[in-house]
Amino acid sequence: MVFKELVLLFIGASLVNNFLLARFLGTCPFLGVSSQVKGAASMGVAVTGVMLGVTLVSWPVYHLILAPLNLGFLQYIVFILVIASFVQMLEQIIKVLLPALYKAFGIYLALITTNCSILGLAIIMIQKDYNLVSSLVFALGAGAGFTLAMVIMAGIREAMDKDAIPVPFRGNSIILITAGIMAMAFAAFSGMVPM
């Protein structure tokens, strides 16, 4: 029973309420870093990792420190600091321990602090009052959905580079319209999870 709920939560976060296409969280990297499949996949994996890490830190911070002290209104300030310091720390750790990985993910990590999907995830997880396990599954689902949408978009863009697009539509315009069509496709998942 519990397992079933967690699976539904995962599907809900990754497909039905996809962070990029249904919640509009993280649109900047969606447009900026989706020109190649490899970069898009790296960004997706980095975002998923940070989402899991931030959940692991910010859930206890909220439920063990802020909530008992009645300081819930401080959550935005605390979360943005948690995210900024977590990302910076992760960057330093990876730089020292795994230089090869740092080469592949380095620039994406620095961009992640201002990625609204991370702060959005932390706030939604508190709003919905998930427990720690559900929060982690939610973060994993959100990251998987983010990665999926990024990779699909990058694949379409790689193919689109060869097409003759009318001049005014080149650049961000055609990407946004493509995202709209992708969002329509993802809207078809909405029957999968009872809302």
Partner 1 sequence: MSPLQKFWSKAREGLFRQTPPLFVVLGLCPSLAVTTAAINGLVMGLATTGVLLCTALVTLAIRKMVPSEVRIPVYTVVIASFVTIADLVLAGLVPPVHKVLGVFIPLIIVNCIILARVEGSFTKDQPIEVIGDALGWGLGFTWALLVIGTFRELLASGSVFGKVMMPEGFVPWSIMQTPPGAFVTMGFIVAVIQALRSYSAQRKKASVTGKASKQAEAEAA
Spatial neighbors of 178 by CB under 8 A, at least 6 apart, are 153, 156, 157, 160
Tell me the closest approach of the beta carbon of residue 119 to partner 1, in angstroms. Answer: 5
Question: Which residue from 139, 145, 183, 167 is spatially nearest to 49, judged by alpha carbons?
Answer: 139
70 touches partner 1 (CB under 8 A): no
87 makes contact with partner 1 (CB under 8 A): no
Q: Which stretch binds partner 1 (CB under 8 A): 3-11, 43-51, 149-157, 165-173?
A: 165-173
Of 180, 191, 158, 192, the C-alpha closest to 20 is 180
Q: Is 84 in the site for partner 1 (CB under 8 A)?
A: yes
> Measured between alpha carbons, how far apart are the two ends of the chain, in Å?
17
Residue 104: count of CB within 10 angstroms of its CB: 15
Q: Does 80 bind partner 1 (CB under 8 A)?
A: yes
Decide: is 128 part of the binding site for partner 1 (CB under 8 A). no
180 binds partner 1 per the rule CB under 8 A: yes
Please report, as ranges, the residues that interact with partner 1 according to CB under 8 A.
21-28, 31, 73-74, 76-77, 80-81, 84, 113-116, 119-120, 123-124, 127, 167-177, 179-181, 183-184, 187
